[in-house]
Amino acid sequence: MNTFDTEKITPIEKEEDEEEEISPIEEVRLTVRNTDDPTEPVWTFRMWFLGLISCSLLSFLNQFFAYRTEPLIITLITVQVATLPIGHFMAAILPATKFRIPGFGTKMLSLNPGPFNMKEHVLITIFANAGSAFGSGSPYAVGIVNIIIAFYGRGISFYAAWLLIMTTQVSFFPKC
């Protein structure tokens, strides 16, 4: 048999595959569907808007509060809970008219392609997780920049500080 030939799946094998997809955890079974609806929109204006705002806001607020003696940490769950009603509100008020963006071909786009769905909410949560530094606080190099300014009394340009922070984040510099 050629490797590109498709194998026929018997009804028994199909039932076994479906049983494997059912979660053994009751809470997951009650809240998450086993099937995917490919017609649900994912890359929507709502997802990009709420995702970028939540990422930026969470990053800024956690860094702002990190300078306190007892830092206030805003977690991912807070953003996840807050964005659900905002997403439903945006689905109710945004216009559903379709338009075309020059340079993107003949594809029609809309600010409101339908009801707010779970896929959009998951992607917004992923954006927010990136803004919370994956739950471990601010980047390590922010402390280095603070030490240069406060302890050594020297200035550092924005671009040098940005380059330092980005290179340590991208190179997976461990927190010590």
- Name the H helices within the chain: 11-21, 26-31, 45-65, 76-93, 118-131, 140-150, 158-170
Write out pLDDT tens, residues 6-54.
555 555 555 555 555 777 888 888 888 788 888 999 999 999 999 999 9
User: Using CA atoms, how far apart are residues 169 and 59, in angstroms rounded to an integer?
Assistant: 14
- Give pTM, 2 decimals: 0.73
User: Using CA atoms, how far apart are residues 147 and 128, in angstroms rounded to an integer?
Assistant: 28
What is the average per-residue pLDDT within 129-150? 80
3-class SS at 154? coil
- Cα 158 to its chain centre, rounded Å, is 26
Tell me the domain boundaries of the chain. 45-138, 139-176
